[in-house]
Each structure stands twice: as structure tokens, then as C-alpha cells.
């Protein structure tokens, strides 16, 4: 659906950005139940420390700034994060104890609170149902705002996000602010994040400010909400990878037939994280040997004679390896890769007990008999990535 967060009744947002520095505000119709998943980086930014302490009391509003991560800033950083909550509460006429704070940007610099406060006031003046200004306000090296709303029939999930660099599992450099008019259960968000944001990789770096935050404005009964939330987060993850720093192609990686789901996840992440796979994709080079090598060093159970590798380009599935190297037209496949912005790599390890399990909700978020399956998303590694990060400050 068009409109993002504005499709959830009672939710308004606004944002203002000038130069590198922006502020986004999201307001909910009341104090709402919320849950969040945070970075596993042990260097945790001040705003996340503040939000972690407050989220159990419920969320009425969120204030997020870009341009400065407010990380490694000590006592002053914590005081500034709390001050942002108070200023946002004043601007939105809510209680500061129910305002969550999020930041993204350069690490190791103190916030310019005069600039932040003026941005909060400007963002408050733009509050409404259209969330584009809020989505743009939290962008850093992103090229495009990330706005999504899906109607699952009876309930909706909507959100805005940012994320383009330092994208690596557990979690990536990302902010994802989500709202739903359905009730959710404990563990739903973690389940969805593990199968989406924790399965995307751009550059193997993990930041200090990552958060996926879900707020429920209502109590609509939602069958299979966990599956719906997983699908929503996977779609948002693909948007982030597509907009990654220097990315020219999105790579979806499917591993199946592994001995276990844990093995499938290890293999998929090894492929997604491989700089050699990324550079080969950028060069439109179907070098399946790099994929096989990544699986081999991932530590999973492997019988190479049972493994198969396919590249799917423009809907055409080409078998490159079937226990041994297959003959294929490498030049023609490379030319096809030049014409598309997304490819898929499929690896079947040939060890899973597919069909021996009962039907369940699998890693892909769909109901099917699957054993040892996993999806991951990666981007290619281009010259522009180096240029962007060489000069980032």
C-alpha cells in the first residue's frame, strides 16, 4: 500500500533534514505496547541505552536523528539522548517517559543540541499521515527513502527504515520503525528479525546503533502474525540491500537440503558475506567456485558429491555444479547478468530430510515441508563502495 505509516490509524509522522543532519518524529494515538531488537555490538550508543531502559513502559512517540550516532560520548551522550526525548515530548504534547530515541551517523562526536532541537521543532511542524519526510530525515548514505505498508487482510504492518552501509547480520547498520494495528506476541519480532535483517549483508561491518522497533496501536486478532511480520521484514531487508552503498545488484541466496536449519543458515551467511562472491557478481562473473568455497569453509556438514549450485538470472535457472563442474556458457550467462539488477544463487547440499518432517513455517516465512532451508540477501561489491567510505566523516 502507498503511504507507509500513515495507513495505521492514529499514527502521524514528520521529518526535517538540512545537509547531513535530520530529525524524524513518529507519534502514536496513545501509549502502546512495543518491542525492539538491538545491535549485538558491545559498543552500544547512548540512544539505545536510553530506549532499552524505557521501552517496557510503552511507546507514545519516537524521535530519531541522522548525522550523528551519539556513540562513545559518555555521560553527556546519555544526557543529550534524554534531552532529545524531553524536547520531542514537549513538541508533540506527550510524556517524555514514553518517548524512545534513536540515532544514526558518525561515531564519536557530541550532538549539536541547538541544531537537534531546531530540527525537532521543524519536524513537529510537518506531522501528518505522509511519512516520506520522516523516512528521508533518517537517511545517511542511503540513496532512497524506505517506506513500506502491507495489508495482510484484517491487519496491516507499516514502517520506515534506513540502512545502506555497515550492513551485516546481528544486526546491520539500520533503523526500522514499524507499526501495526494487530496484537503481537513475545518473540514475534525476534523471530522475524532472525529471518530477515539478520540474514542480509553488504560489507561485513556491524554498527553500534541498530534497532528494529515494533509498536502495536491495537489488539486486532491476527492469525499467523509472526509469518506476516517475517514477510514484511524480509521485504524491507531487500529494500535496504538494493540501496546499499555502491550496490548495483541484489543477490538472493537460497540454501536447501542442509543437514539442519542451523547448517543452512551458516552456509547462506558465508555466501552472503563472501567478498569474493560479491566482487564476482559485480563483475558479472558466474564464478560458482567462490560459492562452493564459502560453503566449504562455513563449517557445515558437506558431501561435495551431493551438492548442487544454480544461478538464476532473468528467471532462467542454470546448473553450474552437480557434484562436479558442469559445462555451461559462462560468457552468455555473464552477458545476461549485465542486464539485471537482481540474481539468485541456489545451493542444495543434498543432505536434508525434506518430506520427513511435518508441515511447518520455515525460514522463508512460508508454510511448507522443509528441512535445512534458509534465505539470505547480499549486494555486490563495487568501486563506489570504496569511494563512499574512504571519504565518510
Residue positions annotated with a catalytic role: 173
- Per DSSP, 381 falls in state -
Total Cβ atoms within 10 A of residue 226: 19
- Name 134's Cβ contacts closer than 8 Å, sequence gap at least 6: 5, 13, 14, 15, 24, 25, 26, 123, 160
Q: Using CA atoms, how far apart are residues 329 and 282, in angstroms rounded to an integer?
A: 18
What are the backbone angles phi and psi of residue 189, rounded to the nearest 5°?
A: -65, -45
- Name 86's Cβ contacts closer than 8 Å, sequence gap at least 6: 96, 99
- Name 85's Cβ contacts closer than 8 Å, sequence gap at least 6: 50, 54, 63, 96, 99, 100, 101
**146-151 and 175-182 beta bridge pairing:** unpaired
What are the backbone angles phi and psi of residue 371, rounded to the nearest 5°?
A: -130, 130
**367-368 and 374-379 beta bridge pairing:** unpaired
Q: Using CA atoms, how far apart are residues 45 and 74, in angstroms rounded to an integer?
A: 9
Angle between helix 288-297 and helix 261-273 axes, rounded to 10 deg: 130
Q: Using CA atoms, how far apart are residues 136 and 157, in angstroms rounded to an integer?
A: 20
Amino acid at each position: 500500500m502507498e503511504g507507509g505509516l500513515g495507513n495505521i490509524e492514529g499514527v502521524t509522522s514528520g521529518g526535517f533534514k538540512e545537509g547531513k543532519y535530520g530529525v524524524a518524529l513518529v507519534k502514536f494515538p496513545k501509549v502502546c505496547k512495543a518491542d525492539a531488537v538491538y545491535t549485538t555490538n558491545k559498543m552500544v550508543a547512548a540512544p539505545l541505552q536510553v530506549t532499552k531502559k524505557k521501552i517496557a513502559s510503552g511507546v507514545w512517540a519516537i524521535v530519531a536523528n541522522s548525522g550523528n550516532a551519539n556513540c562513545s560520548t559518555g555521560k553527556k551522550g546519555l544526557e543529550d539522548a534524554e534531552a532529545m526525548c524531553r524536547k520531542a515530548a514537549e513538541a508533540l504534547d506527550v510524556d517524555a517517559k514514553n518517548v524512545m530515541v534513536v540515532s544514526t551517523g558518525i561515531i564519536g562526536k557530541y550532538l549539536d543540541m541547538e541544531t537537534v532541537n531546531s530540527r525537532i521543532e521543524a519536524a513537529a511542524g510537518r506531522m501528518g499521515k505522509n511519512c516520506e519526510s520522516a523516512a528521508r530525515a533518517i537517511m545517511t548514505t542511503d540513496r532512497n527513502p524506505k517506506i513500506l505498508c502491507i495489508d495482510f487482510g484484517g491487519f496491516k504492518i507499516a514502517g520506515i527504515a534506513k540502512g545502506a552501509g555497515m550492513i551485516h547480520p546481528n544486526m546491520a547498520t539500520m533503523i526500522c520503525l514499524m507499526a501495526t494495528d494487530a496484537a503481537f506476541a513475545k518473540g514475534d519480532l525476534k523471530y522475524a528479525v532472525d529471518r530477515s535483517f539478520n540474514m542480509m549483508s553488504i560489507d561485513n561491518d556491524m554498527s553500534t546503533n541498530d534497532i528494529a522497533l515494533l509498536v502495536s496501536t491495537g489488539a486486532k486478532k491476527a492469525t499467523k502474525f509472526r509469518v506476516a511480520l517475517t514477510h514484511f521484514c524480509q521485504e524491507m531487508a531487500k529494500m535496504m540491500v538494493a540501496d546499499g552503498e555502491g550496490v548495483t545488484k541484489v543477490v538472493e541466496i537460497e540454501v536447501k537440503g542442509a543437514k539442519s536449519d542451523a547448517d543452512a543458515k551458516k552456509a547462506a551467511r558465508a555466501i552472503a558475506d563472501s567478498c569474493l562472491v560479491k566482487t564476482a557478481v559485480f563483475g558479472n562473473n558466474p564464478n560458482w567456485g567462490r560459492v562452493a568455497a564459502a560453503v566449504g569453509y562455513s563449517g557445515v556438514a558437506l558431501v561435495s558429491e551431493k551438492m548442487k549450485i544454480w544461478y538464476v538470472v532473468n528467471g532462467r535457472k542454470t546448473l553450474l555444479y552437480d557434484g562436479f563442474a558442469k559445462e555451461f556458457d559462462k560468457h552468455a550467462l555473464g552477458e545476461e547478468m549485465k542486464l539485471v539488477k537482481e540474481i539468485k544463487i541456489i545451493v542444495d547440499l543434498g543432505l536434508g530430510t525434506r518430506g520427513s518432517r511435518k508441515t511447518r513455517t520455515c525460514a522463508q516465512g512460508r508454510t511448507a515441508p522443509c528441512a535445512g532451508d534458509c534465505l539470505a540477501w547480499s549486494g555486490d561489491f563495487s568501486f563506489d563502495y570504496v569511494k563512499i567510505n574512504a571519504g565518510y566523516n
